[in-house]
Amino acid sequence: VSDPLGLIGLRSGAAAAPGMLHRSAGSAKSNAEGPGFREMLERELAQVNRLQEDAKIAAEDLASGKRDDIEGVIAATQKADLAFRMLLGVRNKMMEAYDEVKQIRV
Amino acid sequence: MYGSLDIATSGLVAQRMRLTVISNNLANRETLLDAKGNYAPYRRQEVLLAPGDPSSGREMGVHIAGIEKDDGELLARYLPDSPFADAQGYVGYPNVDPVIEQMNGMEALRAYEANIAVVEATKSMISVALQMLA
C-alpha cells in the first residue's frame, strides 16, 4: 500500500502492527528531510527573478551602448521568457490541484 | 537547461567577430600607410577561435583566442611614379584578396545562421516540454 502522507501506519494502532508503525515512522522522517516544497518554490522564484533582472540590465546596457553583443541580450531575454513560462506552468498546475482539492466534500 | 542556448550564443558572437574582421580586411584593401603616416601596407587579419569560455570557465562553446596577422606576400603593383615604389617600380599592396574574403564572409554568415537554427531548435524543445506541463 502506498502511503505518501504516512497516515495508514498511524491509524493501524501500535498493538496491531508495531513493525509497520516503526517503518512508517522511519519513512515519515525521511520525507521530512531535504528542502520542502515551499523552499523549492521560493528558490525557483528567486532564480526566475534573477533571470528577469539580467534580461532587463542587458537590454538597458544595449540601449545605452554599454555593450554591443546583441546575441547575448537576446539570449538573456529568451532565458527570462522561458523561465517565466515554466514558472507560470507550475503555478497553473498548482492552482489546478488546489481547485481539485477544494471540490472534495467533507 | 540553458546550455545549448549559451553555446549557440557564443557561436553567434564568434561568427559576428569573424565578419567584423573580414569587413576590416575588405575596407583596408588599399591601405598603404599606418596610423602615423609611414609606409606599412595593411596585412590581412584572421580570427582564431578556440573551444570553451575562459570568462565563465565553461568547457563548451567557442571563444575568440586572438586575431592573427597574415604575413603573406604583398601584392605587387607596377606604379613607378608612386613615392613608395621600389627600385623596379613596384609598390607592395595589402595581401587582401576580395574573392577569398567574400567566400569567408559567406561562410561566416552561414555559420551564424546555423547557430540561429540551434537557438530556434532549443526554444521549440523547451516550448514542447512546457506543453506537457500545461
Map out the domains of chain B as residue ranges: 2-133
pLDDT attached to residue A8 = 52
Cβ-Cβ contacts under 8 Å, B126 against chain A: 82, 86
Three cell numbers, residue B35: 596610423
Cβ contact B46:B68 at 8 Å: yes
| pLDDT tens track for B54-89 | 888 888 899 999 999 998 889 999 999 988 888 899
B76 backbone dihedrals φ, ψ, rounded to 5°: -85, 130
Residues 12-51 of B with CB under 8 A from A: 12-13, 16
Asked if B13 and A86 come within 8 Å (Cβ–Cβ), the reply is: no
Residue B24 has pLDDT above 70, yes or no: yes
Nearest to B67 by CA among B18, B34, B104, B112: B18
Q: Which residue of B has its CA nearest to A73?
A: B9
Whether this model's pTM surpasses 0.90: no
pLDDT attached to residue A68 = 87
Residue B14 has pLDDT above 90, yes or no: yes
Cβ contact B123:B54 at 8 Å: no
| pLDDT tens track for B103-120 | 999 999 999 999 999 999
State how far the Cα of B13 lies from the Cα of B8, in Å rounded to an integer.
9
State how far the Cα of B20 lies from the Cα of B110, in Å rounded to an integer.
15
Residue B27 has pLDDT above 90, yes or no: yes
Asked if A72 and B2 come within 8 Å (Cβ–Cβ), the reply is: no
Residue A17 has pLDDT above 60, yes or no: no
Three cell numbers, residue B13: 558572437
ipTM for the complex?
A: 0.71
Three cell numbers, residue A39: 523552499
Cβ-Cβ contacts under 8 Å, B13 against chain A: 69, 71-72
Helices (H) and strands (E) counted in chain B, each on its own, are 2, 4
Q: Which residue of A has its CA nearest to B12?
A: A71
Angle at B76 between CA B48 and CA B43, to 5 degrees: 20
Task: Write b or e for each residue in B66-82: b if 16 or more Cβ atoms lie within 10 A of its Cβ, otherwise e.
Answer: eeeeeeeeeeeeeeeee
